[in-house]
Amino acid sequence: MAIDYAWLEANILKRKLGETERSELERLLVERSFTKNEHILTQGQAGGSLYILRSGLAEISAECNAQQVQIATAKDGALFGEITFLTGDAATATVIAVEDCTVYQLKRSDCSELMQSEPELVYALMAYMLFHAGNVIRSRNEDHATMLQYMSSSHK
């Protein structure tokens, strides 16, 4: 297996990579494979990594009142682990492969190193994280509004 740079350029970074950037990513980005039903990330686990879903489908859930509640389905291009990556705190959700998945993993400590050598590359990655976070927030706002609308109409 090898990092699909053309896919990263087109879907995540939105720009071409230079040779030194490719070399740095080759050294720091880890490609991992997960089979159906395998845990990619577990809520509460020590964190510090960002995951980019290259292929496959994964379910994101969180514990609420002692029950696992599905909060999203992730497909190609999805990110997870952003909170633990940015803060170093434990994972806030569990991610399980619904089908075989390929994931690119970047450790927080490696990103710090990358900031020194390739700041424009890190900027492109952070810009995608913000774009992705915006989409997640929009989706949650829509879900929240729908739930509130349902709750207010069912109590009349």
pLDDT greater than 70 at residue 1: no
Q: What is the pLDDT of residues 74-96, one digit of tens each?
A: 999 999 999 899 898 999 999 99
Model confidence at 103, in pLDDT bands (50, 70, 90)?
A: very high
For residue 156, CA distances in Å to 31, 150, 153 come to: 53, 11, 6
- 97 - beta bridge partners? 58
Q: What is the pLDDT of residues 133-148, one digit of tens each?
A: 888 778 777 877 888 8
Q: How far apart are CA 11 and CA 116, in angstroms?
A: 24
Find out if CATH 3.40.50.720 is the number for domain 5-154.
Answer: no
pLDDT greater than 70 at residue 36: yes
Domain extent listing, the chain: 5-154
Question: Which residue type occupies 10?
Answer: A
Q: How far apart are CA 23 and CA 26, in angstroms?
A: 5
